[in-house]
Amino acid sequence: MTESVAQAALDRALDEKDLLLLYQPIHDARTREIYSVEALLRQRRETGEIREASIITATAEQGEQLYRLDSWTIKRALTDAAGWPWRLNVNLSPREFQETNIGQRLRDLASGCGMKLDKLNLELTETSHIERPDETMDSLNALKGLGIGLWLDDFGTKYSNLEHLQHFPSDGLKIAGSFVKPLSGDERIRKIMRALITLAHELNMKVVAEEVETEEQLEYLLLCGCDYIQGFLWSRPMEKEKIDALLRQSS
Ligand code: G
Ligand code: MN
């Protein structure tokens, strides 16, 4: 798909509201209780099929629509999650952190949504290089001042490097699924995982393991002291209504 075609698709998606959010719980690794719920962007196709919105997010990453897309996502997620007793995780491109008034923008977006910003965790998605470190640091500190949690997403892959641990005031790491998948057979990966979790804890950060699918993976992650688990083993991404039903059952 060329860039202009993809841009047109994004415009259409935003206008015709064929974007939607699914929510995937993040569980306490020991108690299995839900700690937070991550909002995941999806696109409804003409066929009714629901797909990942990666074409759209990749396009937006290059253009100004990122702002509109993230605004839509944050507002929608804050509204949907208003009555939930858990934290809410939302993905945000590092580009948006370079805005000097990101704190004010989030306050504006949250007003009228019924959810307090101190229940929000932002996942810094490492799809692009982080520029202008001073502005970014100011923004991150402003967000922390609002009680917002900051997490490094897909840690260990792409641009998500150890320098971020040195500079960023993050509350936690989400360790990429590519480190979780081979845990059952690969001794090197097991050692890397154990060291990553120890490293995070040394820096007073928590760890979410992503894409946990098997009991065997869970067992090893528990052995390493992993704090939180996300993945098909315990919960798939679900529509808001299903999360609401889950909440009714549990209370
Ligand atoms: O933004 P993040 O990297 O956290 O995105 C998570 C993605 O991984 C989502 O698109 C979600 O549908 C997918 N996912 C979540 N749990 C699992 C899992 O257990 N296995 C696999 N293969 N994918 C998962
Ligand atoms: Mn994420």
pLDDT in tens, 30-78: 999 999 999 999 988 878 888 887 777 777 766 677 888 889 999 999 9
Rounded to 5 degrees, φ, ψ at 37 are: -130, 130
DSSP-based helix, strand, coil % in the chain, nearest 5: 45, 20, 30
pLDDT in tens, 183-221: 998 999 999 999 999 999 999 999 999 999 999 999 999
Going by alpha carbons, the residue nearest to atom 21 of ligand 1 is 211
**Residue 192: both structure tokens together:** 């890397």
pLDDT value at 1 more than 70? no
77, amino acid identity: A
Q: For a pocket test of ligand 1, which of 20, 21, 24, 208 has the largest count of ligand atoms closer than 8 A to its C-beta?
A: 24
pTM of the model: 0.92
Going by alpha carbons, the residue nearest to atom 13 of ligand 1 is 211
Burial environment of residue 57 by CB neighbours within 10 A (0 to 12, 13 to 18, 19 or more): buried
| Ligand 1 atom at minimum distance from 176 CA | 3
The candidate with the shortest Cα–Cα distance to 93, out of 111, 71, 117, 113, is: 71
pLDDT in tens, 80-119: 999 999 999 999 887 777 777 889 999 999 998 989 999 9
What is the per-residue pLDDT for 145?
94
Q: How far is the CA of 138 from the centre of ligand 2 (A)?
A: 22
Q: For a pocket test of ligand 1, which of 232, 234, 239 has the largest count of ligand atoms closer than 8 A to its C-beta?
A: 232
pLDDT value at 13 more than 80? no
| Ligand 1 atom at minimum distance from 232 CA | 19
Cβ contact 237:39 at 8 Å: no
Residues framing ligand 1 (Cβ under 6 A): 24, 40, 52, 91, 153-154, 177, 210-211, 213, 231-232, 237
